Amino acid sequence: MTQEEHSHVMTGASHLADCHPHHRILFDPIKIGPVVAPNRFYQVPHASGMTEANPRVRAAFRGTKAEGGWGVVSTGAVSIHPSSDDSPLPFARLWNDADIASHALTTEAVHKHGSLAAVELWHGGAVVMNRTSRLPPLSPSGVPWAATHIGFMGQQRPKPMEARDIDAVLNWQRAATRRALDAGFDIIYVYAGMGYLGYEFLLPEYNWRTDGYGGSLANRTRFVREMLEVTRDEAGGRAAVALRISLEELRAKPSDHYESEAHGVVSLLSDVPDLWDVKMDSSPNDCGASRFRPEGAHEPIIDFVRTVTDRPVVGVGRFTSPDTMVSQIKRGVLDLIGGARASIADPFLPEKIRQGNSDAIRECIGCNICIASWHDGVPVRCTQNATAGEEWRRDWHPERFRTAEEPESVLIVGGGPAGLEAALIAARQGFDVTLAEQRSDWGGRVLQESQLPGLAQWRRVRDYRVWALSQLGNVAMYTDSPMAVADIASADARHIAVATGAHWTTHLYSPLEIPSHPLLGPRVFTPEDVFEGRVEGDRVLVFDYDNYYLGGVIAEHLARRGSHVVYATPAGHASAWTFMTNELPYVYKALGEQGVDILTTTKLDHFDGHHATLSNLFNEQSLQRAIDTVVVVGLRQPNGSLYQSLQTAKASGDSALAGASITLVGDALAPGAIVHAVHSGHSFARALIDGGADYLRDEPVTLSEPQPVFVDSGNP
């Protein structure tokens, strides 16, 4: 095995000879106060789940984006003080000098590729619960965020801020700015969005004050102005000062002197920050899933900002099309193209545009698994990019691959997301790959599910990989090719990956919160039956304990077709896990628009073909519904028979299989979300070179002795 690495995209060059002329405007340098961004690609602040506990993982994750051409690369939220403690959700800190060295690893990784490093200094105000620091949260008037989801609920309420509390926050911002400069950051943020402290001063719903920080719009803007001023004063021209602000609620508020309160805030602060970073107010709107929010969905809210200020403006919209990006700039909506999810799905998106190779962009599908990572408290995951979060700990680069010393043969059985990814990465590593799929088209579950309402963009998982494989000369691809043991043995492959997927069952749900016995009988169906168009009925029950998107989408699909649909789930919400992906509010809206009846904390006990008997999960109270069709979305089981037959044949002495490795990948190994299947296929292919080496364990960067964090528990 050679150690030479081959790049699939050219990096480091600054010329635009290969760039489409229409796209060259994206590579204009942009002055941001005292610094200059080398181009218009701006990775805006976004959570990564990589705290000071994972500083090397974090540095490699951000540094890879700089290598891929993002001119500015930002952190996620970085707390300025223990009174902004978001645990157990992952967040970063600049509380004392011990945190500086950890962040310096990131700035060094970003600067290595000529990009600017930005830090999103943050105080969460009333939104955080300070579960670890146990300090009272701070709020302009003591108004709490009364979250409706248990993951954000807490019993600690905020204290109304006194004048000395305001002074303290300004001092914390100043101190964090000083540490940010020492860590090497080029752009320093004040955060006034998403319900956090600066936002709370701007919104009258949070701000009931009667002093100089409340009442009029100018007064409510004062705290944000002072945060910007202390940041600029401390930066002293060494770094630019950015304001990140949510404008959705403010734009909806009328104003006596401006077109809206959003226009008023931007007008009052127009020349104070060096950069405006504009966004929505709630995460489901700001980072909306593609199922409900199209590319560029922010524009109707933020389109006015450049008409009010002469400072550069950056915004997001899950931009993946360079033509859309150029349109935003030429129409005066944005100066810099912000990317969060798009930069995770393809860190090399800017470089591919610069090379005139936009077809090679691994486009974000808007599934929001990356956001679920933050809710889960783990480093970021991505359905499209299996290397996200693995750059340092597994040494996986998204565009470079070590090549095999000898091009051994690899046979992959199954052309779903796992099989396609395994084939692509194996081929890029120099193996001779054969990919066989029993159906007439590629994509497996992705191809099936993308037929359903709102999921069309998920087909990008399939389309990108099929296109990328078509560019390689060491891959043979066959559809309509079911493979038996004899077929596989005759292929004489050195490595065999079995990516045969999984199937849905009709198992019901036990009070033990596990699957129970299968529901048998006519007119009982699974999602596969929905995909094949076999489900009929005027009164359909969708019983869902998978709890992710599919049960809700199937209910919406069947209702759109004309059936009266009852959706029942043992969980507390319809499609409960979609809270993790920012979809839950829109799931309810979509089901409501189609007239779907929703029964939560409910399990299905019996179905006789005419009536469904259900009961409450907790009190066992029974109810009946007139139903003629049931679709169960619950247990998936691996399609493992081919794998077992291969293992049996090998153990029995089949000489054609004796020297071959046989590996289960994707849902055939363990059913999961599409992200798990893609990661599994990627892991298989990388293991052909590295043997499946364990990943590195990161460690915090620490001083010789822990430093105290100086707080007054009664009056921070």
* Catalytic residue annotation: 196
Place of tokens 């719903």: 205
Contact 548, 372 (CB under 8 A): no
- What angle is formed at CA 550 by the lines to CA 544 and CA 554, rounded to 5 degrees? 85
Q: What is the DSSP letter of 194?
A: T
In the numeric block, which tokens belong to residue 78? Answer: 């970085």
- Contact status, residue 228 vs residue 174, Cβ threshold 8 Å: no
d(CA 169, CA 591): 44
Nearest-CA neighbor of 89 among 119, 49, 123, 56?
Answer: 49
CB–CB of 61/391 below 8 Å? yes
Instruction: Give the containing element (helix H, strand E) for 221.
Output: helix 217-235
Taking each continuous run of H as one helix and of E as one strand, the counts in the chain are: 23, 32
Coil, helix or strand at residue 62: helix
- The whole-angstrom distance between residue 402's C-alpha and the CA centroid of its chain comes to 28
The one-letter amino acid at 617: L
Decide: 462 and 417 in contact? Cβ < 8 Å.
yes
712: nearest Cα among 159, 202, 265, 24: 159
Residues contacting 131, CB < 8 A, separation 6+: 85, 87, 88, 154, 156
Residue pair 354/27 in contact (Cβ under 8 Å)? The answer is yes
Helix H or strand E segment including 249: helix 248-251
Kindly report the length of the chain.
716
C-alpha 9/C-alpha 319 separation (Å) is 20
Query: E strands of 324-407, at which residues?
Result: 336-339, 400-402
| DSSP state letter for 492 | T
